[in-house]
Amino acid sequence: MGQEVDQQEFSRADRTAHREKVRRCLDVFALMLRQSHFEAEDPMTGLEIEFNLVDGEGRPALKNAEALEAIANPDFQTELGQFNLEINVAPRRLGTGGITDFEADLRASLNDAEERASQVGAHLVMIGILPTLEAGHLAPGTISPNPRYRLLSDQILDARGEDIAISIAGVERLETTADSIMPEAACTSTQLHTQVSPEDFASYWNASQAIAGIQLAVGANSPYLLGLDLWAETRIPLFEQATDTRSEELKAQGVRPRVWFGERWITSIFDLFEENVRYFPALLPITDDEDPLAVLEAGGTPGLHELRLHNGTIYRWNRPIYDVVDGRPHLRVENRVLAAGPTVADTMANAAFYFGLVRALVEHERPLWSQMSFSAAEENFHVAARDGIDAQVYWPGIGQVSASELALRRLIPLAREGLERWGV
C-alpha cells in the first residue's frame, strides 16, 4: 500500500510546509521532463498481486504478521487488513521470455508461500473480494499494525468528518457504514507496471484508460460482498466509496474523489501530477530535508519524496509512477484495474491481454483516444464493472457492442500483435 510513515499527528504548519514543498517538487519534475534522461531504452514490466489469507474453512485468517514471518521472502509484504498480503514479482522484460518467467516465478513463489503460511494456519486465496468476509472482519481492530494504515484511516475519516457510507445497488442492495477505511481491505487487485519514456507516457496512459472497461469485462471475479450479490466486479464501487473523503455536500459541489477515473485524455505525465497537486489536499503532509532543485543542479536525481507520497494517496485506476532505481529516474504506468486472481493462469492471461493490447493501440496509426470521448471510456468502465462479461460497451467504428464479442473478434487479435511487438 506504499511507504511506511512514522509521524502520527500533523499541525497547520506541517500542511503549509508540505504544500510548498510538493509544489517545488512539481516544478523540479517539470524541469526533469525537459532536461533529464529517463531510463526507457529497454523497458521493464512489473507485476504486483494483493491476496487474502483464509483458514481451513475458507474464512478470513487474521494472521498476516505470522504468515509473513513464516514465508520469510522479501517479495511479500503486509497490506491494509490483517487478512491481506501482497507479492511484488521481480520486474523483467517481456521480450526475453517475460510472460513465461512471470508465470513460473509467481507460481513458485505462491506455492512456497502457501506451504509455509499453512504452518501458521493460513492459506493464500487470490480473488477480488473474499466471499466469506463478514462485517466484523472489516472493523478497525483488523487493520494491520503498520502505522501508515491507521494514520491513513484516521486522516480520511477526519477529512470526511463522518463515517464512510457504502451504498451499492446490484442484483441485491448493500447499505452500510464504516468507521475506518477497512472496507478497502476487502478489495484485492492485480497491478501491472509498464516502464515508458516521457514522450510515450501519455499514449500508454490514454490507451490504458480506453481499455479499462474491457479489462473489467473479461476479468471480473468479485460479485459478492457480505453475503450479497452486487456487481460483477463489486470491488470497483466498494473501493471508490471506502476511501472517499467527501461529505455529501462536497460531492454535490463536484469535488473530485480520491479514487478517480480522471476527466480527460492527457498530453504528458505532468498533467496527472499537476492535477494531484492542484485538486487534492495532502492526507500525509510529511516533508523531508531534500532540496530537489539543488540535487538536480548538482547532477543528482531528486527523490521527489513529497510528490510521490502524495501520489500514493490518490487512487487512480491507472496511476502515474515516478521512481528512482540505482540513481536513474524512470516513469511507469501502473494499471490497477484488475482483480486479483483467481488463478495464476487467469492472472497471466489478463496480463498478456493488457500488455499486448496497450502496445498495439499505442503504435496504431490513429490513436484510439482520438476516436472516442473520455466520458465514453469512463462509462465503459462502470458498465463493465456492473455487468462483467455481459456488458454492452462503446467502441469506435462499431458503436455499442457485446464486450465478449469485441474481445474475441477485435481485441484479442490486436493483443497478439502487440505481444509480438514486445518480442513475446
Residue 3's pLDDT band (cuts 50, 70, 90): low
pLDDT digits (tens, 9 = 90+) for 218-234: 999 999 999 999 999 99
Mean pLDDT, residues 335-361 taken together: 98
Averaged over 233-244, what is the pLDDT?
98
User: Helices marked H in 36-131 — which ranges?
Assistant: 64-71, 98-117
Residue 1: the pLDDT is: 46
Pairing mode, if any, of strands 76-78 and 84-92? antiparallel
Residues of the chain with pLDDT > 70: what percent? 98
58: three-class secondary structure by DSSP: coil
Helix (H, G, I), strand (E, B) or coil at 88: strand
Task: Give pLDDT tens digits for 68-96.
Answer: 999 999 999 999 999 999 999 999 999 87
Nine-digit cell string for 182: 477497512
Interval 38-64 mean pLDDT: 96
* Nearest partner of 359 among 63, 95, 167, 77, judged by Cα: 95
Q: Which residue has the higher pLDDT, 332 or 98?
A: 332
What is the DSSP-derived secondary structure letter of residue 317?
S
**The residue count for the chain:** 424
Average pLDDT along the chain: 96
Cell readout for 333 is: 504506468
The reply to whether the predicted model has a pTM over 0.85 is yes
Return the pLDDT at 7. 56
Distance between CA 55 and CA 112 in Å, rounded?
Answer: 17
Residue 224: alpha-carbon gap to chain centroid:
21
What would the pLDDT profile of 301-336 be if each residue is shown by its tens digit? 999 999 999 999 999 999 999 999 999 999 999 999
Parse the chain into domains and list their residue ranges.
Answer: 12-354
- Predicted confidence (pLDDT) per residue in 117-155, tens digit: 999 999 999 999 999 999 999 999 999 999 999 999 999
Which stretches does DSSP call E strand in 140-214?
A: 164-169, 173-178, 190-196
List Cβ<8 Å contacts ≥24 apart for 393-396. Answer: 393/213, 393/214, 393/217, 396/368, 396/371, 396/372
Q: 330-344: b or e for each residue (b if 16 or more CB lie within 10 Å)?
A: bbbbbbbbbbbbeeb
Cα(206)–Cα(284) distance, integer angstroms: 28
What does the pLDDT look like over 351-384, one tens digit per residue?
Answer: 999 999 999 999 999 999 999 999 999 999 999 9
Question: 322: closest CA among 269, 285, 280?
Answer: 269
The residue-averaged pLDDT of 16-26 equals 98
Task: Report the C-alpha gap between 407 and 121 in whole angstroms.
Answer: 40
The one-letter amino acid at 40: A
Cα–Cα dist 106/17, whole Å? 42
How far are the Cα atoms of 52, 276, 354, 371, 422 from residue 78, in angstroms, in the given order?
11, 26, 26, 42, 32
* 27's grid cell: 516544478
**CA–CA distance, 394 with 216 (Å, rounded to integer):** 14
As a whole number of angstroms, the distance between CA 34 and CA 142 comes to: 46
Report angle CA 318, 424, 213 to the nearest 5 degrees.
Answer: 30
Structure confidence at residue 96 (pLDDT)? 79
Q: Rounded to whole angstroms, what are the CA distances from 109 to 24, 49, 52, 81, 383?
A: 41, 12, 15, 21, 35
Provide the pLDDT for residue 4: 54
**What pLDDT score does 37 carry?**
82
When pLDDT is cut at 50, 70 and 90, the band that residue 97 belongs to is confident
CB atoms within 10 A of CB 374: 17
**For a pLDDT cut of 90, what percent of the chain falls above it?**
95
| Residue whose entry in the numeric block shows the C-alpha cell 491481454 | 353
Topology of domain 12-354 in CATH is: Creatine Kinase; Chain A, domain 2 (3.30.590)
What are the beta bridge partners of residue 301? none
Q: Which of 32-46, 274-288, 329-343, 380-394 has the lowest mean pLDDT?
A: 32-46
